[in-house]
Structure 1
Amino acid sequence: MSLGRRTLGFSWPALVALAALAAPRVVLHDLHVVEEGSVATVLLAVVPSICWVAAVLWRRPPRPFLTVVVIGAIYGVLLAVGHQVLWNQAFDGVAPSLGEVDPRAQEGILRVAAVFSSLVTGVLVGVVTGAVAAALSRLLPPRSHSVCER
């Protein structure tokens, strides 16, 4: 049994798949398919977190908080990659500027800041969602295992 499965309750491909549930929001937002504040944007932001909690409650990993924080961190990586790949589309070809900073350095500085921001966002989403998952794991009784699952 792998370290990830023992500690986190899921295989690494499963953790990546759970994190990937949140990736469509990044793509759809950066391509301006959905706009901030719309019902679709809210659903794209909330439903993946609900799925993470549901997966943890179903699987009952030994460390539910850590499991969801790891999923959030993976989501942060996907978020960072998505924003970098869709950088020009997100800004409609007009990247933000930093005023008097050398124009050659601006894009690099802004891209590094975007990566850092994405990673922090992913981890924070994981922390908040992980806290919910851990609390619910303690409050709700473990699901009963059927004869077929043993």
Structure 2
Amino acid sequence: MRNDIEHLPWRLITALGAFALLRPLASILGLSDTWGKPATPLLLTGVITAVWVGVVVARRVPRPLLTLSLAGAVYAVLLIPLSAVLSLLLSGQLQGPLATPVAIVPLVITNVLWGAVAGAIALAMQQLSPGTTRTR
């Protein structure tokens, strides 16, 4: 098991998790209000998911399900301090998961599930493509 973890594409996982921060940044910058809710968060979620799947399929990443599940976890872990710092800077009050710690576990679970769904899509696409790695 330890050997499997060491051989995961950690730079890619971290980059994909960080890329998903576009979603909260759009909200912080007011783009979600300007472009409309709930359309903007839904559209950004779709774009992020498509990028995650596209990158994993194009790079023929082995274990896409695990890779993208971990990208979802990285996103959640990055989001927690980001939301705390930005809420303090923008409103002067601590908001987000650190203000309500009971929200941390559901936040992580939700984003791991998001990554797992994206990973399942990537895995299916890899299995349908000739000459790709077929591992979970």
Whether the 8 Å CA contact 2:72–2:113 is kept in 1: the answer is yes
**1:131 alignment partner, one of 115, 120, 124:** 120
Q: Structure 1 stretches of 5 or more lacking a match?
A: 97-106, 144-150
Whether the 8 Å CA contact 2:20–2:48 is kept in 1: the answer is yes
Structure 2: distance between partners of 1:20 and 1:133: 19
Aligned partner of 2:54 in structure 1 is: 54
Which structure has the larger Rg over C-alpha atoms? 1
What per-residue deviation string (whole Å, max 9, x for no partner) do you get for residues 31-55 of structure 1? 54314313x3333211111111111
My pick for the range that moved more, 27-36 or 126-135, is 27-36
Q: Compared with structure 1, are the counterparts of its residues 69 and 108 closer, same or farther at alpha carbon in structure 2 (3 Å cutoff)?
A: closer
Structure 2: distance between partners of 1:87 and 1:55: 31
Whether the 8 Å CA contact 1:30–1:83 is kept in 2: the answer is no
Q: CA deviation at 1:88?
A: 5.0
Using the size of structure 2 for normalisation, the TM-score is 0.73
Structure 1: distance between partners of 2:97 and 2:67: 32
Structure 1: distance between partners of 2:117 and 2:17: 15
Q: CA deviation at 1:109?
A: 7.9
Structure 1: distance between partners of 2:128 and 2:97: 46
How is 1:111-130 mapped onto 2 (pairs within 5 angstroms)? 111-130=100-119
Q: Structure 2 stretches of 5 or more lacking a match?
A: none
Structure 1: distance between partners of 2:18 and 2:97: 26
Structure 1: distance between partners of 2:97 and 2:115: 27
How is 1:130-149 mapped onto 2 (pairs within 5 angstroms)? 130-142=119-131
- Identity between Structure 1 and Structure 2 (%): 33
Q: What secondary structure is seen at the aligned counterpart in 2 of 1:62?
A: coil
Q: CA deviation at 1:86?
A: 3.0
Aligned partner of 1:37 in structure 2 is: 38
Aligned length: 127
Whether the 8 Å CA contact 2:97–2:103 is kept in 1: the answer is no
